[in-house]
């Protein structure tokens, strides 16, 4: 039998990973290590496969074996950082990434990879330093400039973000992301806008491609700023039609999930004995309803650390369900049906372990994963002294804000108005159910109340959280913490009410969604 080359084995590994056949991928990686021991690919790919298969200890062990003989391998150091982060060893992960940056020297491509890790880890100041270093070597690299602009936006350096986007446009005048970035960072006016450049760019890209969707959504925002609501809606609809064509989404599956969760928790939940002494704060709700705003308000309190949008609770539920069923054989509705049978102590342990890397030593921490609304009963089972702040917003205002936002890889229901209506109706039914079986335990906070009566709303939130009032919570826009959400620009400004009524400009276009909500018994009164 002819000995296969290392590239051939690496191809096999990649093909197996694409099929999610991690057993075959691990076997090919092991063969690569045995056949080509001088080549680090077998260890690197073996670690990647183990991490994908959730075998974090093996993943770290394999990469450490390789680093013992090649301690300056940037790829392996970054893979070690990924393993450590997955294991909850955040500081060790960041140290490994720092070592990778040192080993990268002035290699801009290697530094780019390090920068992406820091963004993934939520260390935006670290990412900014890395991109600054990379751009000293490659000052006209458009991709690096674009990535730095995004990080500048996350940390609130809006003028620097715009400068980077303008430099990108000097080299690529029709770059869609740069044009969109500039339109989002400043209000477009009839006197100062990039509409002509975006319309020209749109005419020269593939009509149904990603770049076209980007430009349509940027134009929708620009025309709305300029008061041309007919053109805004035209571009918004065109962009969303492209986005919808690119995602695989089954509305029936989401509808079944809501039903299964309600069935899994039929009765009033009893308060359980607290075994954790933890009081996490969960901020939940539909996207674009003010969850980031309230996170910033709460996170401005001296006793609270904002841990961001954590996947930890859903992951912990997945671990608990895996103890009673093979999760790889469950679809989403079947997964939901099993929730009621999970072990809350195991969920608590797993959640605390998985969130540890994003918490600090302050008295309380908040988790702003909006879709934790799926798990309200499980949250209180795992943490009887937890608090859940649920953000609400006028249904049409919420749905319009969702419809006009491009979400990266999430919220697949958001690109079609009928699907958006169906999901919103299911979400409202679930939240009504939680209130029935968890009476008085979830605090509903209307976005409109926060905007119109910030002091009153803030005091109400802090009282529910058992936190003393601090004036800093009213100056949330001065909070220096980075944010990577769609509200990154808005939450660094004092509150303004102009967005509350924007949906009314599109009342005719939203009429079918309006009718669906009313038919489902949802009030859309002002």
pTM for the full predicted model:
0.87
Q: DSSP string spanning 353-411?
A: HHHGGG--SSSEEEE--GGGGGGHHHHHHH-TT-EEEEEE--HHHHHHHHHT---SS--
**pLDDT of amino acid 86:** 86
What is the share, in percent, of the chain residues with pLDDT greater than 70? 95
Sequence-ordered list of residues with C-beta below 8 angstroms from that of 300, at least 6 positions apart, any chain: 470, 472, 473, 475, 476, 478, 479
**pLDDT of amino acid 148:** 96
Alpha-carbon gap, residue 365 to 204, rounded angstroms: 48
488 pLDDT higher than 80: no
Note the pLDDT tens digit of each residue in 32-86. 899 888 888 899 999 999 999 889 999 999 999 999 999 999 999 999 999 998 8
Domain made up of 278-478+487-492: CATH architecture: 3-Layer(aba) Sandwich (3.40)
- DSSP one-letter code for 290: S
Distance of CA 495 to the CA centre of its chain: 23
Q: What is the mean pLDDT of residues 210-231?
A: 96
**pLDDT of amino acid 462:** 98
Phi, psi of 460 (to 5 degrees): -65, -45
Give 155's pLDDT tier (boundaries 50, 70, 90): confident
496 pLDDT higher than 60: no
Q: Which of 120-129, 224-233, 370-379, 422-431 has the lowest mean pLDDT?
A: 120-129
Give 495's pLDDT tier (boundaries 50, 70, 90): low
479 pLDDT higher than 80: no
**pLDDT of amino acid 1:** 47
Closest CA relative to residue 295, chosen from 461, 455, 448, 453: 461
Question: What are all long-range contacts of 482-485, with beta carbons under 8 Å and residues at least 24 apart?
Answer: 482/122, 482/124, 482/125, 482/154, 482/155, 482/156, 483/154, 483/292, 483/296, 484/119, 484/122, 484/124, 484/154, 484/308, 485/292, 485/309
Is 3 exposed, middle or buried (CB count within 10 Å of its CB: 0-12, 13-18, 19+)?
exposed
Beta bridge partners of 443: 389
Token pair 């937890």: residue? 386
Stated as kind and residue range, the H or E segment containing 155 is helix 142-155
Question: Do 425 and 517 form a contact (C-beta atoms < 8 A)?
Answer: yes
Question: Do 233 and 220 form a contact (C-beta atoms < 8 A)?
Answer: yes
328 pLDDT higher than 70: no
Q: What is the mean pLDDT of residues 383-406?
A: 96
Torsion of the alpha carbons at 440, 442, 443 and 447, rounded to the nearest 10: -140
233 pLDDT higher than 60: yes
Alpha-carbon gap, residue 36 to 39, rounded angstroms: 5
**pLDDT of amino acid 450:** 94
Which is higher by pLDDT, 391 or 410?
391
Sequence-ordered list of residues with C-beta below 8 angstroms from that of 137, at least 6 positions apart, any chain: 106, 107, 108, 111
Give 438's pLDDT tier (boundaries 50, 70, 90): very high
482 pLDDT higher than 70: no
Give 89's pLDDT tier (boundaries 50, 70, 90): confident
Q: Which of 198-202, 211-215, 328-332, 449-453 has the lowest mean pLDDT?
A: 328-332
Which is higher by pLDDT, 329 or 362?
362
**pLDDT of amino acid 492:** 45
Give 480's pLDDT tier (boundaries 50, 70, 90): low
458 pLDDT higher than 80: yes
- DSSP one-letter code for 209: S
CA dist 431 to 114, 271, 325, Å?
Answer: 41, 19, 27
Give 247's pLDDT tier (boundaries 50, 70, 90): very high
Neighbours of 523 (CB within 10 A): 9
327 pLDDT higher than 90: no
Beta bridge partners of 446: 392
Question: Do 398 and 446 form a contact (C-beta atoms < 8 A)?
Answer: no
Is 266 exposed, middle or buried (CB count within 10 Å of its CB: 0-12, 13-18, 19+)?
exposed
Alpha-carbon gap, residue 524 to 381, rounded angstroms: 33
Closest CA relative to residue 368, chosen from 416, 306, 430, 421: 306
Domain boundaries, the chain: 278-478+487-492
Average pLDDT score over the chain:
92
Give 394's pLDDT tier (boundaries 50, 70, 90): very high
Is 396 exposed, middle or buried (CB count within 10 Å of its CB: 0-12, 13-18, 19+)?
buried
**pLDDT of amino acid 493:** 55
């Amino acid at each position: 039998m002819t000995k296969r080359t290392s590239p051939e084995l690496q191809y096999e590994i990649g093909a197996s990973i694409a099929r999610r056949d991690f057993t075959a991928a691990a076997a090919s990686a092991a063969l690569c290590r045995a056949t080509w021991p001088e080549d680090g690919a077998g260890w690197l790919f073996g670690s990647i496969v183990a991490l994908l298969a959730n075998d974090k200890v093996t993943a770290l062990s394999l990469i450490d074996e390789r680093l013992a003989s090649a301690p300056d391998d940037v790829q392996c150091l970054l893979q070690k950082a990924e393993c450590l982060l997955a294991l909850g060893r955040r500081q060790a992960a960041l140290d490994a990434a720092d070592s990778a940056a040192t080993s990268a020297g002035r290699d801009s491509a290697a530094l780019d990879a390090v920068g992406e890790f820091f963004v993934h880890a939520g260390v935006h100041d670290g990412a900014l330093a890395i991109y600054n270093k990379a751009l000293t070597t490659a000052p006209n690299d458009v991709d690096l400039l674009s990535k730095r602009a995004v990080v500048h936006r996350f940390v609130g350096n809006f003028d620097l973000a715009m400068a980077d986007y303008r430099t990108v446009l000097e080299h690529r005048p029709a770059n869609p992301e740069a044009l969109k970035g500039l339109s989002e960072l400043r209000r477009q006016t009839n006197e100062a806008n990039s509409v002509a450049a975006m319309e020209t760019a749109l005419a020269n890209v593939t009509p149904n491609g990603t770049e076209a969707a980007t430009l349509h959504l940027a134009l929708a925002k620009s025309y709305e700023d300029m008061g041309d609501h007919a053109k805004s809606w035209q571009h918004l609809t065109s962009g969303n039609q492209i986005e919808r064509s690119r995602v695989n989404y089954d509305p029936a599956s989401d509808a079944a999930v809501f039903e299964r969760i309600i069935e899994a928790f039929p009765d009033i939940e009893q308060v359980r004995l607290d075994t954790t002494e933890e009081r996490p704060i969960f901020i939940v709700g539909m996207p674009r309803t003010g969850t980031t705003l309230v996170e910033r308000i709460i996170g401005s309190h001296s006793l609270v650390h904002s841990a961001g949008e954590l996947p930890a609770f859903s992951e912990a539920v997945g671990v608990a369900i895996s103890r009673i069923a093979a999760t790889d054989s469950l679809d989403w509705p079947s997964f939901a049906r099993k929730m009621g049978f999970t072990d809350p102590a195991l969920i608590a342990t797993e959640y605390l372990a998985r969130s540890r890397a994003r918490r600090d030593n302050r008295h309380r921490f908040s988790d702003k994963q909006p879709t934790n609304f799926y798990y309200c009963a499980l949250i209180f089972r795992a943490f009887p002294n937890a608090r859940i702040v649920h953000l609400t917003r006028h249904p049409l205002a919420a749905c319009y804000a969702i419809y006009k936002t491009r979400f990266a890889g999430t919220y697949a229901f958001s690109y079609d108005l009928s699907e958006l209506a169906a999901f919103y109706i299911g979400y409202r039914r679930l939240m009504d159910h939680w209130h029935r079986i968890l009476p008085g335990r979830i605090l509903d906070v209307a976005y409109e109340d926060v905007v119109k009566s910030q002091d009153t709303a803030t005091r109400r939130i802090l009282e529910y959280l058992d936190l003393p009032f601090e004036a800093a919570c009213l100056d949330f826009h001065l909070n220096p913490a980075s944010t990577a959400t769609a509200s990154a620009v808005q939450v660094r400004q004092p509150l303004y009410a102009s967005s509350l009524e924007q949906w009314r400009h599109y009342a005719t276009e939203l009429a079918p969604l309006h009718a669906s909500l009313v038919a489902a018994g949802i009030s859309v009164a002002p």
